[in-house]
C-alpha cells in the first residue's frame, strides 16, 4: 500500500488546510495511507507521534479554516545534512517514500534537496546500522510534489499561490475600514502591507481599494523625485474633492538607490503637504481569517493533482510543482520555478528592475 506524507512548511497561509484535506481524502480514495507531518520539517526530524496517519473524518471542516492545523515551523536542523538523514530514517520507519510539501520557496528548495540526497542518506543509514539493506530496498527513491502556500503570490510560473487571495481580501477589508475613518476626519493614511520582495498584494490592494499612490518593489521610486510626485498626485486628488488619501506601501518597497521606503518616510512627505497623516502597519491580520473561495478551490484542485502526481511519478521525473495557469491546474518543474523566483527577488534586491520585470509575470507590472 502506497504511503504518502503531507506537510505544511514556512509561513502559514489560508487555504493550507484545504490543501491537506484534499491530499488526505484523495489519497484515501486511491487506496493510499496518508500521513500528516505535524510542525513542518521539525516534525519530520522528530518522527513518531509527529507523523500521524489520517482518516477521512480527521480533516472534516478544514476547508475554510485559516492558518495550518497541522502546524508549521522553521527548522534550522533540516538545513543540516544530519537533520535530513534523521528525517529520512523517520520516513522509512513508517514506510513512507512520498512527500507532498505545501510551503514557500524555502520549503520547496529543501524538499528537492532532500529528494536528491535521499539515496545517499539511505545508504548511510544502512552503514550506521539503523536499517538492514533488505529493510531499505523498497525505499530507493523519494517522491516530492510541491504545492505553493504563500500569501505573497511570489512564485514564478503560477498565477496565484494558496493564500494570496485570502490575504488580499483581508487587506482590502482593513483599508475599507481605514478609509471610513479617514474620510470622516479628512485624514491621510499610509498602510504598510506584506509581500516580502513581491508587490502583488500592495498593487492589487491598491487597485481594489482605489488607493491614491502605491509603492512596490518592482517599480523604482526615484530618490528625490517620488516625494514630489506623491505630493502632486495627492494634491490633485484633493483638489477634485477627495476627502481621504490612502497610500499603500509594500514592505519590500525601495528607492532606486536601495534605500527602503518605509510608511514613516511616506508619512513625512504627506505631513509636509499639510495633511493630517496616520500610519497603519497591518501586520499579521493579513495572514489570518478564513480562506476565501478562490483559495479553497485552488487548494482543493491542486491537492487532488498533487496525489495524482505522486502516483504517476517515476524516479526520472523531476519533482513537480502544482501551479495554475489561465484557470488550468498545471505541473511545472519545481527546481526551475523556485530558481526563477529566487532570481526575481535577487534582481529586485539589486534594483535591476528591467530584469525583475521581464522575469516576473508581465501582466502584473504596469
Residue 105, C-alpha cell as written in the block: 520557496
Q: What is the Cα–Cα distance from 21 to 39, expressed in whole angstroms?
A: 16
State whether the Cα torsion 209-215-219-221 is positive or negative: positive
Task: Quickly tell me which residue has 502632486 as its cell.
Answer: 232
Which residue in the set 79, 81, 140, 225 belongs to the binding site for ligand ADP (CB under 6 A)? Answer: 79
Bridge partners of 162, per DSSP, are: 149
Interface map 87-126 toward ligand ADP (x if CB under 6 A): ----------------xxxxx-xx--x-------------
User: Distance between CA atoms of 326 and 23, rounded to whole angstroms?
Assistant: 23
Shortest spacing between CB 287 and ligand ADP, in angstroms? 11
Least separation in angstroms between residue 14's CB and ligand ADP is 14
Q: How far is the CB of 74 from ligand ADP (least distance, A)?
A: 4
Q: Of 78, 118, 165, 189, which one interacts with ligand ADP (CB under 6 A)?
A: 78
> Measured between alpha carbons, how far is 13 from 153 in angstroms, rounded to an integer?
11
Q: Which residues within the stretch 302-321 sit at the binding site for ligand ADP (CB under 6 A)?
A: none
| 252 binds ligand ADP per the rule CB under 6 A | no
Among 11, 89, 303, 320, the residue binding ligand ADP under the rule CB under 6 A is 11
Residue 146 touching ligand ADP (CB under 6 A): no
Q: Which of 12, 152, 159, 255 is catalytic?
A: 152
339 near ligand ADP (CB under 6 A):
no
Task: State the residue number with the nearest CB to ligand ADP.
Answer: 106
Distances from the Cα of 250 to the Cα of 51, 92, 205, angstroms: 37, 43, 10
Q: Which of 12, 18, 25, 41 binds ligand ADP (CB under 6 A)?
A: 41
152 as an active site residue: the answer is yes
Residues touching ligand ADP, count (CB under 6 A): 16
Does the footprint of ligand ADP cover residue 8 (CB under 6 A)?
no
Q: What is the dihedral of CA 54, 57, 60, 62, to 10 degrees?
A: 0
Residue 43 touching ligand ADP (CB under 6 A) = no
- As a whole number of Å, the end-to-end CA separation of the chain is 51
Span from 4-12, 19-27, 197-205, 209-217 in contact with ligand ADP (CB under 6 A):
4-12
Q: How far apart are CA 356 and CA 148, in angstroms?
A: 20
| Grid cell for residue 122 | 539511505
Closer residue to ligand ADP, CB minimum distance, 170 or 196: 196
What are 18's three cell numbers? 484545504
Which residues, numbered 56-75, are part of the site for ligand ADP (CB under 6 A)?
74-75
Q: Which residues of 296-333 are buried (b: 16+ CB within 10 A; e: fewer)?
A: bebbbbbbbbbbebbeebeeeeebbbbbbeeeebbbbe
* Distance, CA of 149 to CA of 164 (rounded, Å): 8
Chain residues binding ligand ADP by CB under 6 A are 9-11, 41, 74-75, 78-79, 103-107, 109-110, 113
The residues that are catalytic are 152
Amino acid at each position: 500500500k502506497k504511503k504518502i506524507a503531507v506537510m505544511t512548511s514556512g509561513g502559514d497561509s489560508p487555504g493550507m488546510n484545504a490543501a491537506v484535506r484534499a491530499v488526505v481524502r484523495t489519497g484515501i480514495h486511491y487506496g493510499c495511507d496518508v500521513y500528516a507531518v505535524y510542525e513542518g520539517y521539525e516534525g519530520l526530524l522528530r518522527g513518531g507521534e509527529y507523523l500521524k496517519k489520517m482518516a477521512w473524518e480527521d480533516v472534516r471542516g478544514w476547508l475554510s479554516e485559516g492558518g495550518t492545523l497541522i502546524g508549521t515551523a522553521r527548522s534550522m536542523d533540516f538545513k543540516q545534512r544530519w537533520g535530513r538523514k534523521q528525517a529520512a530514517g523517520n520516513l522509512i520507519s513508517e514506510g513512507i517514500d512520498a512527500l507532498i510539501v505545501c510551503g514557500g520557496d524555502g520549503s520547496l528548495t529543501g524538499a528537492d534537496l532532500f529528494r536528491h540526497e535521499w539515496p545517499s542518506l539511505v545508504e548511510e543509514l544502512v552503514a550506521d546500522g539503523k536499517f538492514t539493506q533488505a529493510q531499505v530496498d523498497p525505499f530507493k527513491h523519494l517522491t516530492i510534489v510541491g504545492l505553493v502556500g504563500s500569501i505573497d503570490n511570489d512564485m514564478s510560473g503560477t498565477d496565484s499561490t494558496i493564500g494570496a487571495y485570502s490575504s488580499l481580501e483581508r487587506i482590502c477589508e482593513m483599508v475599507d475600514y481605514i478609509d471610513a475613518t479617514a474620510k470622516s476626519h479628512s485624514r491621510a493614511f499610509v498602510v504598510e502591507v506584506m509581500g516580502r520582495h513581491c508587490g502583488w498584494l500592495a498593487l492589487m490592494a491598491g487597485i481594489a481599494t482605489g488607493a491614491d499612490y502605491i509603492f512596490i518593489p518592482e517599480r523604482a521610486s526615484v530618490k528625490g523625485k517620488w516625494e514630489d510626485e506623491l505630493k502632486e498626485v495627492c494634491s490633485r486628488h484633493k483638489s477634485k474633492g477627495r476627502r481621504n488619501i490612502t497610500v499603500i506601501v509594500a514592505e519590500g518597497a525601495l528607492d532606486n538607490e536601495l534605500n527602503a521606503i518605509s510608511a514613516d518616510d511616506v508619512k513625512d512627505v504627506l505631513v509636509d503637504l499639510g495633511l493630517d497623516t496616520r500610519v497603519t502597519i497591518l501586520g499579521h491580520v493579513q495572514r489570518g481569517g478564513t480562506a476565501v473561495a478562490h483559495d479553497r478551490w485552488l487548494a482543493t484542485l491542486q491537492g487532488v493533482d498533487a496525489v495524482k502526481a505522486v502516483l504517476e511519478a517515476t524516479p526520472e521525473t523531476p519533482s513537480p510543482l502544482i501551479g495554475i495557469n489561465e484557470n488550468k491546474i498545471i505541473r511545472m518543474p519545481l527546481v526551475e520555478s523556485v530558481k526563477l523566483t529566487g532570481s526575481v527577488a535577487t534582481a529586485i534586491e539589486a534594483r535591476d528592475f528591467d530584469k525583475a520585470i521581464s522575469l516576473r509575470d508581465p501582466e502584473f507590472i504596469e
